[in-house]
Structure 1
Amino acid sequence: MSVKPEAASALFAGPFALATLSTPDEPAFPALVTADARVLDLKVALDDAWLTTRRLLEDWDSAVSRLTALAADSGWEGRPLSDFRVHAPVEPRQVFQSGANYRQHVIDLHVAHRDPADDRPEEERRAEAADIMDRRAAEDLPYVFIGLPSAITGPYDDVVLPSWADRPDWELELAAVIGRPAHRVSVEEALEHVAGYTIANDLTDRATVFRRDMPQIGTDWLRSKNAPGFTPLGPWIVPAGSVADPGDLRLTLKLNGETMQDESTKDMIFGVARMVSYASQTARLLPGDLVLTGSPAGNGMHWGRLLRDGDVMDASITGLGAQRTRCVAEAAR
């Protein structure tokens, strides 16, 4: 589908963003989108028939200056954004996902997932969870696991709820997009490897998070998070230079028009730089890879209301635009 008018009116911070667009007659191409909703086909502008958004990110230091110049050039007319279908802005090779990274969210989940035999007052269990979060912060221990690129879908695509997913939930997240290879980088160096930021909604089937057949195994992120389309991404990548402070952005998710998540990235236990640095101590982060930074309070588990057929999620992050996705039950599809 073409870009939604609601999203087009929000757009993004800064003079331009990177997108991947198409029309029924044109296959997907990397595009420069300006703040006034004009589109420039970068394959044409940069005279490279094989260009992709990921290839731009592989030479980001050079590309960002060329893109900045193109955005400032008033000599090209461009086409209206509303003419195009908006896809996920990049196809990453790796997706690094952060768990338990918003203090209030983790406290809420700690209470919601309580042992049925635990009859302590809620205030006592909340205090216990708060102590755990404070200890994690003091000990500097982020939690990162791997997601699948095949779970990614576009920012306006339908999200198919698998028939086996009994308790599908939303998780709005800030995603950092890597622009320079990063391996064993320090926290101080980490943001130099971030090309920009985008929006991710990291859906989770709460019923399959924990293995019931053998609880000692722990979490099952493959089953609970990686169904096709479980990670709506985009609509675009906003360059890091246009985002004043990734540690002070507002994340808002509405379900059928009702606000469910509304929190600042200030509530993150570990900031973007720490998450990128931490992931890089083990893995080699590559251009185009995503580092998802966790989800704030206000998930379906908190509200006692999980996703179902026909639900519409509107998600936005300060300066990064907005996405709208509709849930469709697999049986209905």
Structure 2
Amino acid sequence: MKLASLNTGHPDGSLIVVSRDLLRAVRASAIAPTLRAALDDWTRAAPALQALYDALNNGEAAQAFDFDAHACTAPLPRTHQFIDASAFLNHGRIMTQAYHPEKKSDPSIPVLIQRQADDFAGPHDDYAFPDEADNCDFEGEVGVILGDVPMGTRADDALAHVRLVTLFNDVSMRKHLFRELGMGFGFILAKPATAFAPVAVTPDELGEAWRDGRVQLDLEVARNGVRFGAPNGREMSFGFHELIAYIAYNRNLRAGMLLGSGTFSNVDYQATGSACLAEQRAIETLDHGESRTPWLRFGERLRFEMKGPDQQSIFGAIDHRFVQATYVNQQTSAEQAGSKA
């Protein structure tokens, strides 16, 4: 089934069920007011949501309406925990070769980081950031939204706890990223809000593309209407089942946790392209001795979409414009950041 959240002014939105073709929708408030509430009561809510989804697809849902992705927030507008991985080791290899050839890492251990989870952006929201000098970047990723995962869950059992799959743009500010990496803790200014496609789907909606804990489909990325890349998720070095088992080694994971894949990256990047600017710039540095692709500027537009074998959009598209942030006070965000550095 496919689920989304209408922007009602409430921080968690209002849960709706969306048809498979993304054309129709119906409110699900009689089952659960929000997606977060449904996740907390999944055993009861899921069968009822599935029945409503079936009725909607059969044209039998009362009070159905035309689906408008512009009216949606992120499917899960906020949650208690977001952990992002860097699970495509090819991306790490390219970045290391370009900038830190002396760096060594253990390819058997996934790279994971705690992220901001209290303010996700919707699929068509303007994305405001303070300063072009922050070197604004994007990262095309997929993520899974989990149910309760007991401590010690094994990889073989982990995928049973995946409730939904989603698509997102993990915005990065590269100027701050390298500085914060060097400080040794985690990202703050380097990783502002993440933007999501309008719809989250249960794994069965992916069909054969959901294999080995991976979404084995192309992630199509366009910058200002021009194709930037379409890497495939099959080359994810750690499947979601392996990432879940690693995180749950010594802790319980609670319903609603979001786990990201990291930016899509393929070995045959000359053919597939990339899903982030940093990787493209690193490739240019390796090939030409310097990067040529500019960071994002105000007014630019990005689009992210993933389609099934029938060319039907699975999650709907993220299609958003990047704009300059405005503030109530007179001090700019760049001045604030500098005063704290």
Q: TM-score range by the shorter chain?
A: 0.7 to 0.9
What is residue 188 of structure 2 aligned with on the other side?
222
Per-residue deviation at 1:165?
5.4
Per-residue deviation at 1:237?
1.2
Residue identity in the other structure for 1:31: I
Name the CA distance, whole Å, in 1 between partners of 2:200 and 2:215: 17
Say which SS state the counterpart of residue 320 (structure 1) adopts: coil
Residue 325 (structure 2) pairs with residue 324 (structure 1): no
**Residue from 8, 11, 14 that aligns with 1:29:** 14
Per-residue deviation at 1:42?
1.0
1:205 to 1:325, Cα distance in 2 relative to 1, 3 A: same
What is residue 76 of structure 1 aligned with on the other side?
62
Q: How does 1:1-333 map to 2 (within 5 A)?
A: 16-22=1-7, 28-36=13-21, 37-44=23-30, 46=31, 51-73=33-55, 74-82=60-68, 85-90=71-76, 91-99=78-86, 101-114=87-100, 136=107, 140-163=108-131, 166-211=134-179, 215=182, 217-218=183-184, 220-225=186-191, 227=192, 230-244=193-207, 245=210, 246-297=214-265, 298=274, 299-301=276-278, 302-303=280-281, 304-318=293-307, 319-330=314-325
Say which SS state the counterpart of residue 143 (structure 2) adopts: strand
Question: Gapped runs of 5+ residues in structure 1?
Answer: 1-15, 115-124
Indicate the structure with greater strand content. 1
Per-residue deviation at 1:285?
1.9
Instruction: Work out the number of aligned pairs and report it.
Output: 289
Name the CA distance, whole Å, in 2 between partners of 1:329 and 1:83: 23
Per-residue deviation at 1:24?
8.3
* Contact 2:69–2:316 (Cα < 8 Å) also in 1: no
Name the CA distance, whole Å, in 2 between partners of 1:258 and 1:282: 45
* Contact 1:104–1:296 (Cα < 8 Å) also in 2: no
Name the CA distance, whole Å, in 1 between partners of 2:126 and 2:190: 18
Say which SS state the counterpart of residue 97 (structure 2) adopts: helix
What is residue 8 of structure 1 aligned with on the other side?
none
Name the CA distance, whole Å, in 2 between partners of 1:82 and 1:151: 21
Name the CA distance, whole Å, in 2 between partners of 1:38 and 1:241: 19
Name the CA distance, whole Å, in 2 between partners of 1:75 and 1:293: 35
Per-residue deviation at 1:67?
1.4
Residue identity in the other structure for 1:38: R
**Percent same amino acid at aligned positions?**
24
Quick check: 269-278 or 159-168, which moved more?
Answer: 159-168
* Contact 2:302–2:320 (Cα < 8 Å) also in 1: yes
Name the CA distance, whole Å, in 1 between partners of 2:198 and 2:16: 12
1:165 to 1:89, Cα distance in 2 relative to 1, 3 A: farther
TM-score by length of 2: 0.77
Residue identity in the other structure for 1:238: V
* Contact 2:26–2:61 (Cα < 8 Å) also in 1: no
What is residue 119 of structure 1 aligned with on the other side?
none
Name the CA distance, whole Å, in 2 between partners of 1:107 and 1:258: 26
Say which SS state the counterpart of residue 125 (structure 2) adopts: coil
Structure number with greater CO (CA < 8 Å, separation at least 6) is: 1
* Contact 1:254–1:314 (Cα < 8 Å) also in 2: yes
Residue identity in the other structure for 1:153: A
* Contact 2:4–2:16 (Cα < 8 Å) also in 1: yes
Name the CA distance, whole Å, in 2 between partners of 1:177 and 1:165: 33
Name the CA distance, whole Å, in 1 between partners of 2:231 and 2:203: 21
Residue identity in the other structure for 1:309: F
1:112 to 1:311, Cα distance in 2 relative to 1, 3 A: farther
Name the CA distance, whole Å, in 1 between partners of 2:97 and 2:90: 11
Quick check: 276-285 or 168-177, which moved more?
Answer: 276-285
Residue identity in the other structure for 1:251: L
Per-residue deviation at 1:234?
2.7
Question: Gapped runs of 5+ residues in structure 2?
Answer: 266-273, 282-292, 308-313, 329-341
Name the CA distance, whole Å, in 2 between partners of 1:275 and 1:192: 13
Residue identity in the other structure for 1:174: V
What is residue 11 of structure 1 aligned with on the other side?
none
1:24 to 1:58, Cα distance in 2 relative to 1, 3 A: closer
1:176 to 1:182, Cα distance in 2 relative to 1, 3 A: farther
Per-residue deviation at 1:176?
0.4
Residue identity in the other structure for 1:224: A
Name the CA distance, whole Å, in 2 between partners of 1:315 and 1:195: 22
Say which SS state the counterpart of residue 317 (structure 2) adopts: strand
Name the CA distance, whole Å, in 1 between partners of 2:173 and 2:295: 9
